[in-house]
């Protein structure tokens, strides 16, 4: 046993610090975002699985023709946006639960940035496919 | 006995006593009857609980969510390759056609299926149903069986579809 003892800097109770500040504001928004995107993903991912049955083993020409159809592009973009939105919201809960202290904020930002970029990459791939462009590489 | 009730010794790198800034940690500080501050015992963790299926299913929902995100990232790269052109897409196909790549795809599929089943259970609980202990314990094994069944059927069917198309293309004499 050493000489050091615990030391509390703020001489107010947690309740005293919270009192008068009002609610945390965001309320149940995060919870709802998670459930709403989850429910939306049920039909969207079903559509995606069905499409994978159409595309299993397909070559580039077949995939390009498939992706160029406006209906497919719309559904595909919806799948991508909803998937990465749901991933962002869900991963944030995991980070909030398991990452503490100094690492918390950077990890949370990293989750936001990476999921956003992946979603954007998917959306731009869809745009390129639907525009029929292929660099020939 | 002693370990749990030992006084806190929190020091930073230079050996200076660090002030408590983390609220969560500050709440662990208690005092003995003689007035000395101590770290209060934390609630017992995983290892003291008896194994239940529901605890595995609960953490599995999170783990499969993370894996499903990784798989979605791979899916986006696949789509990006298709958008880039035939050459990039052929590289992607080498990955997806490879046995190791297909194992990864099956892992993604299984994770998505379990996360969907787990998510459906969550939506049912949120609506106020199936939340009693008996119902929870009854539904757990059902969730495992549904996941295994749906994953196996989808996985085998998708492999068959891909294999048949590759076969047909080989027969037609085209270079895949």
pLDDT tens-digit series, residues B12-51: 555 555 555 556 666 777 778 887 778 777 777 777 888 8
pLDDT of residue A134: 47
pLDDT of A87 > 50? The answer is yes
pLDDT of A26 > 70? The answer is yes
Place of tokens 């939340």: B131
Q: Which residue has the higher pLDDT, B93 or A16?
A: B93
**A124 vs B: CB within 8 A:** yes
Give the CATH class of A27-130.
mainly alpha
**A89 vs B: CB within 8 A:** no
Q: In this complex, do A137 and B84 lie within 8 Å of one another by their Cβ atoms?
A: yes
Element (H, E) at B168: helix B133-172
Chain B residue with CA closest to A57: the answer is B162
pLDDT tens-digit series, residues A50-66: 999 999 888 999 999 99
Chain-wide mean pLDDT for chain B?
Answer: 85
pLDDT of residue B21: 53
Do the interacting molecules here have an ipTM over 0.85? no
Instruction: Report in angstroms the alpha-carbon separations of B33 from A9, A10, B37, B93.
Output: 21, 22, 9, 69
Place of tokens 């940035």: A113
pLDDT of residue B121: 97
pLDDT of residue B1: 38
Instruction: Report in angstroms the alpha-carbon separations of B139 from A25, B59, B117, B142.
Output: 36, 16, 11, 5
What are chain B's domains?
1-42 (no CATH), 47-172 (1.20.1300.10)
In terms of residues, how long is chain A?
A: 137
The C-alpha atoms of residue B172 and residue A127 are separated, in whole angstroms, by 32
pLDDT of residue A137: 46
Q: In this complex, do A125 and B83 lie within 8 Å of one another by their Cβ atoms?
A: yes
Enter the pTM of the model. 0.80
Closest CB to A6: pick one of B29, B82, B85.
Answer: B29
Q: Which two tokens stand for residue A47?
A: 């559509």
Q: Give chain B's residues under pLDDT 70.
A: 1-26, 174-176
Are the C-beta atoms of residues B23 and A16 closer than 8 Å to each other? no
Q: Which two tokens stand for residue A17?
A: 């610090």
CB-CB neighbours of A56 under 10 Å: 18
pLDDT of residue B91: 95
Q: In this complex, do A60 and B82 lie within 8 Å of one another by their Cβ atoms?
A: yes
Domain ranges of chain A: 27-130
In terms of residues, how long is chain B?
A: 176
């Amino acid at each position: 046993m050493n000489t050091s003892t615990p030391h509390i800097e703020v001489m107010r109770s947690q309740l005293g610090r919270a009192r008068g500040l009002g609610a945390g504001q965001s309320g149940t928004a995060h919870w709802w975002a998670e459930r709403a995107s989850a429910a939306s993903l049920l039909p969207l991912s079903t559509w995606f699985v069905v499409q994978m049955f159409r595309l299993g083993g397909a070559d580039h020409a077949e995939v390009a023709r498939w992706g160029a159809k406006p209906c497919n592009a719309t559904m595909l973009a919806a799948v991508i946006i909803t998937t990465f939105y749901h991933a962002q919201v869900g991963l944030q809960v995991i980070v909030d639960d398991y990452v503490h202290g100094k690492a918390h904020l950077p990890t949370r930002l990293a989750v936001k940035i990476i999921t956003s970029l992946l979603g954007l990459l998917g959306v731009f791939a869809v745009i390129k496919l639907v525009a029929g462009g292929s660099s020939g590489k | 006995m002693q370990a749990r009730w030992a006084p806190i010794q929190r020091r930073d790198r230079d050996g200076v006593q660090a002030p408590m800034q983390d609220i969560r940690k500050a709440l662990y500080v208690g005092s003995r009857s003689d007035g000395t501050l101590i770290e209060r015992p934390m609630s017992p963790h995983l290892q003291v609980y008896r194994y239940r299926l529901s605890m595995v299913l609960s953490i599995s929902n999170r783990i499969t969510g993370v894996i499903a995100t990784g798989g979605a990232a791979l899916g986006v790269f696949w789509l990006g390759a298709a958008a880039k052109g035939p050459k990039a897409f052929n590289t992607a196909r080498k990955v997806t056609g490879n046995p190791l790549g297909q194992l990864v795809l099956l892992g993604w599929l299984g994770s998505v299926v379990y996360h969907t089943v787990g998510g459906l259970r969550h939506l049912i609980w949120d609506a106020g149903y199936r939340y009693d202990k008996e119902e929870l314990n009854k539904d757990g094994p059902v969730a495992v069986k549904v996941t295994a069944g749906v994953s196996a059927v989808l996985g085998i069917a998708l492999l068959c579809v891909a294999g048949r198309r590759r076969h047909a293309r080989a027969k037609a004499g085209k270079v895949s």
